[in-house]
Structure 1
Amino acid sequence: MIGLAARSARAGRAPGLPLDDLTRVELVWIVKQIEHWIRFGRPAREQVLDRRRRILFFPPGSVFALVRWAANEHGTVLSRLDILRAVGRGEACQTIPTVTPGGDILLRVDGWPKVERMLQLIDAIEASDIDPAEASPDHWRHVHNRLAAGETPRAYTRQRHRAFLLRREIGA
């Protein structure tokens, strides 16, 4: 978490964008009760509210992973991982708790076994020296659909990533 805070402190405010144009993600950390954190993504700004709460601001088009976990006296009641694309002002989006105004959901998994599997897939992408925030949004949709069907998703390789970057460069 320190690395994320340091990166966002260096990033400052997104150039030329008022706060109203940024996607706002409220994070909470109450030990053994509620934990919301960003697994990957590059916020443009961070606002610390107190030692348990902070808000991250993402510019339109940026991709990030939000992990939410909650428990009560009987055990875990929520384990969820969402990979979202921050939307621009007036753009259609889905609502997600703690995300304002919402986002384009690229992937959503519920339940700790699926969340843990996704964290492993994200680790594998990072092991290939690829920033998961820069991975193709289509890959995250592919992973979502394969996991929903009980199938194994294709690996995101450096070759796939290069093809995505070239396709993005030519505007396809």
Structure 2
Amino acid sequence: MDKPDDGRTRVELTWLEGRVEHWIRFGAIAEETMIDRRRRIVAFDPHAIFAFVRWASNDFGTVVSRLDIVRAVGPGEAYSALPYVRPGGEILLRQSGWPKVQQVLQAIDAVEALRIAPAEAAPEHWRHLHNRLAAGQPPRPYTLARHRAWLLRRKISA
């Protein structure tokens, strides 16, 4: 996956039904390139937040079940390496194993139930969710009050 020098973060998606399924759960895709009927590359502008789900199985069952919530980096920013993501990104949440992935998917659904796009939720919420799940503790729900506070903080710091 060659990366043009436009500052965007690119994610390679694959869909082989029942075998390898990589998809974007949320995020504003800025560009999409079809490679073939099973593979495509999507690009995100710097600072965009997206959720990348990877699942794979073999004849014996699921071998990979992972969900990452990532902030696309801008030119010159530090980043963490992530498979299928070029150049990489700021990882806000990383969970593996179907039970934890399901918990994250439910948390995403809860944000959407508030009529808030998950990509617009405070990045701290996704970090909080990651840390609480890692510690085996229940996370605090995202609320409209928390979202308003995030929007005000973002406005002040802009």
TM-score (norm 2): 0.95
The offset of 1:20, in angstroms, is 3.2
Structure with greater helix percent? 1
1:156 to 128, 142, 152: 142
Structure 2: unaligned runs, 5 residues or longer: none
- Tell me which residue corresponds to 2:26: 40
Which whole-Å CA distance do the structure 2 matches of 1:127 and 1:50 have between them? 34
The offset of 1:32, in angstroms, is 1.2
The C-alpha deviation readout for 1:72-95, integer Å capped at 9, x for no partner, is 111100000000000012211110
The offset of 1:149, in angstroms, is 0.3
Structure with greater strand percent? 2
1:15-34 equivalences in 2 (<5 Å): 20-34=6-20
- Tell me which residue corresponds to 1:141: 127
The offset of 1:19, in angstroms, is 5.0
The C-alpha deviation readout for 1:12-45, integer Å capped at 9, x for no partner, is xxxxxx7531000000000111000000000111
- Tell me which residue corresponds to 1:49: 35
Structure 1: unaligned runs, 5 residues or longer: 1-17
Which whole-Å CA distance do the structure 2 matches of 1:88 and 1:149 have between them? 31
Amino-acid identity (%): 64
- Tell me which residue corresponds to 1:3: none
TM-score (norm 1): 0.88
Does structure 1 residue 108 correspond to structure 2 residue 94? Answer: yes
1:78 to 35, 57, 64: 64
Which whole-Å CA distance do the structure 2 matches of 1:114 and 1:134 have between them? 22
The number of residues matched between the two structures is 155
- Tell me which residue corresponds to 1:60: 46
Which whole-Å CA distance do the structure 1 matches of 2:138 and 2:5 have between them? 39
- Tell me which residue corresponds to 1:130: 116
- Structure 1 counterpart SS, 2:149: helix
Which whole-Å CA distance do the structure 2 matches of 1:155 and 1:90 have between them? 34
Which whole-Å CA distance do the structure 2 matches of 1:118 and 1:142 have between them? 11
The offset of 1:163, in angstroms, is 0.5
